[in-house]
Structure 1
Amino acid sequence: MTAPRSMSTATVPQPHHPYKVMAVYKFAALPDAEALKAPLAEFCCARGIKGTLILAPEGINGTVAGTPDAIDALAAFLFSTGPFGARLAGAETKYSFADTAPFLRMKVRIKPEIVTLRAPQIDPNRQVGTYVEPEDWNALIERNDVVLVDTRNDYEVGLGTFQRALDPGTQNFTEFKDYVASNLDPARDKKVAMFCTGGIRCEKASSYLLSQGFEEVFHLKGGILKYLEVTPPEQSRFTGECFVFDERVSVGHGLELGTATLCRACRHPLTEADRRHADYHEGVSCPHCIGDAAKHEAAAERQRQMDLAKKRGATHLGDEAMSEAHKRREQKKALAEQSRLANKG
């Protein structure tokens, strides 16, 4: 599985954009995850960093964004200078850049798993499949004796995937085990190659397949994002765009901003074709949720509030919006108090 190293060159946008985005994960022993939550949240909030980081006894996973200096400081905090010590050193980390803030607020969450599969018999720290560098990926997936599986969910696959990849049709990652049981056979499928967004799901998926008796299991190191970062478009075997879990919605080659948007009613990613569909109504409904009246009613009200906020020149979502809402409440209270005193006089 070797390919000429010259086939790939870094195409990630240069850091002249105001926001730097960091996607990070690592399986590492963090029995003190609960105690680490507060100092991590305080560090990020003090530097205006926003996004979500998940801590669990098995490690860390998440994506955040901030100024380049803030993200560089966070990297040092996570990997060397902070309370994690050296436990997160060598984490799978990818950087990209954005012109607008891709997140609205900062969240640090404690969960049982950093990616939920509910397969307690596996341990990615002990056993995973064979990593395949992006430069070697094309040569592997073009082999006839390799079964290529997309481990992501159906709405992600719908935006883009690798040529010849099998779509498990899952709605969440825990269903992947059922797909394996029904569709893959270790006696027949001797070589299985898998990929996901950033690599983390494949850590668990490959560990799971090995626990089920599959002999040769491969996974794309760094996931689709790393592949799109370093692979020139003319050499790419990835078709479409890659869904990302932030306000960018999708990215393409070079990790440039994609064209997909989100339905605000059902949160399903929308292609340009979806937005031309007769069932698409901005902020209210899309072809994927047209029959859900309850979601449409809530979405319509949300859109109305967003339109009102826009007319005021205010922000509807995020920390800034919360601050503005608090300011408006205080102004109303002050006016009410003034009116009360005037009437009393």
Structure 2
Amino acid sequence: MKGPNYKIVSIYSFFPFQENLIFDLKNKLLKIENENDLSGLLIFASEGINGTICADKNVIDNVINLLSKYTDNRNLNMKVNFSKEKVFKKLKIKIKKEIVTMGVPEINPSQDNGIYIDSAEWNKLIKNQNTIVIDTRNHYEVSVGTFQNSINPNTRNFSEFPNWVDDHLETHIENKESTNIAMFCTGGIRCEKATSLLKKKGYKNIYHLQGGILQYLDDVPKEKNLFEGECYVFDKRVALDQELEKGSYSICHACGMPVSIQDQERKEYRKGIQCHFCIDQFSDDDRKRFEERQKQIDKLKVENHKIYKD
């Protein structure tokens, strides 16, 4: 039986990235895309690199070697997975002010952040009664799966996290000197930046899960696993299960929210048109447009299936 065809690598690194090198790397990657089946989403900024790429193993290895040269061989914080299908349509490269948007320019994660905790030590830390555990992801990601007894800031995006810290964090901390603050996210980038923010605000005993949920699921046996549910990912797979295989969630193409199998059985759900999250968000004209789009998608799938069979 033929194995997976595509290698998927999530990657991030905080380092000073000069503008001329950013554009030079972008052009080289687009050239690779034109010559190979490379897809994904990469974000470049003066603070580093963040993103996910998908391609044949040899292509991915060449891209990683190229990225390593531009980061002066710094740690690229990589998570590797495989898929039988492409998880992105094409390669998108975005140049932004931040590789993950928090909106606090005075922090510098490449110089000051919390203590890395690997998967082997994570369970011990979060079981400690003097530890609070914070999920730094967005609310819809948390709804798909999270660690036991973790705090959900209920943010819509990461740029809301600093306000949550200012307004709510102290209510969860009994003793600022002795309380451990353990944070996590999908692959490690958001919780790393969050630790830099908390250190800037004077908090102590700050930890973050190295490699994020994805690395934890890869490292920790199921019988010792404290993560509950599935892990949301920003690609066609939507969510990964405990074995890092495509999970049970799909996306509502009207509002972009993840919907479970149970959500799809609700009376509000109409594939490609609406779900219970967005039933009051769109007009009848919007829904007619969504319905027509879904018909075109379904028609294309049938045509592609016929071509494949022939």
Q: Normalised by the size of structure 2, how large is the TM-score?
A: 0.91
Aligned pairs for 1:166-315 (under 5 A) are: 166-185=151-170, 188-189=175-176, 190-294=179-283, 295-313=286-304
Q: Which of 106, 126, 148 is matched with 1:121 structurally?
A: 106
User: Deviation digits for residues 22-74 of structure 1, max 9, x if unmatched?
Assistant: 10000111112233221122123322110111111111100111111111121
Offset, 1:130 = 0.4
Question: How far off its partner does 1:124 sit?
Answer: 0.3
Equivalent-residue separation in structure 2 for 1:43 and 1:89 (angstroms) = 22
Which secondary structure does the structure 1 equivalent of 2:243 belong to? helix
Cα distance in 2 for residues equivalent to 1:88 and 1:242? 29
Aligned-residue offset at 1:276: 1.1
The structure 2 residue matched to 1:78, chosen from 31, 52, 67, is 67
The count of aligned residue pairs is: 297
**Kindly tell me: are residues 115 and 88 of structure 1, through their superposed partners in 2, closer, same or farther at Cα, counting changes over 3 Å?**
farther
Q: Which runs of 5+ in 2 are unaligned?
A: none
Write out aligned runs for 1:133-172 (5 A): 133-172=118-157
| Residue matched to 2:14 | 27
Q: Which one has the largest radius of gyration?
A: 1
Is contact 1:230–1:254 with CA below 8 Å preserved after alignment?
no
CA separation of 1:88 and 1:302: change in aligned 2, threshold 3 A: farther
What's the counterpart of residue 60 of structure 1?
Answer: 49
- Matched to 1:110, the amino acid is I
Counterpart for residue 6 of structure 1: none
Give the secondary-structure state (helix, strand or coil) at the position aligned to 1:176.
Answer: helix
Deviation larger for 304-313 or 271-280? 304-313
Structure 1 residue 89: Cα displacement: 3.1
- Structure 1 residue 297 displacement after superposition: 3.5
Check conservation: 2:3, 2:84, Cα contact below 8 A.
no
1: CA distance, partners of 2:145 / 2:302: 36
Query: Hey, what's the Cα distance between the residues in 1 that align with 2:260 and 2:235?
Result: 16
Asked whether the 8 Å contact 1:28–1:87 carries over to 2, the reply is no
What is the CA distance between 1:249 and its match in structure 2?
0.5
Q: C-alpha separation between the residues in 1 aligned to 2:107 and 2:289? A: 41
Aligned to 2:72: 87
| Equivalent residue for 1:39, pick from 15, 21, 28 | 28
What does residue range 7-22 of structure 1 map to in structure 2 within 5 Å? 16-22=3-9
SS class of match (1:165):
coil
Give the CA deviation at 1:314: 8.0
Partner of 1:8: none
Q: How far apart in 1 are the matches of 2:191 and 2:304?
A: 44
Amino acid at match of 1:128: N
Deviation at residue 261 of structure 1 after TM alignment: 0.5
Q: What do residues 8-28 of structure 1 show as CA deviations (whole Å, max 9, x unaligned)?
A: xxxxxxx93111101000011
Higher RCO by CA contacts (8 Å cutoff, separation 6 or greater): 1
CA RMSD for the aligned pairs?
1.7
Q: Distance between the aligned counterparts of 2:17 and 2:275, measured in 1?
A: 41
- 3-state SS, counterpart of residue 215 of structure 1: coil
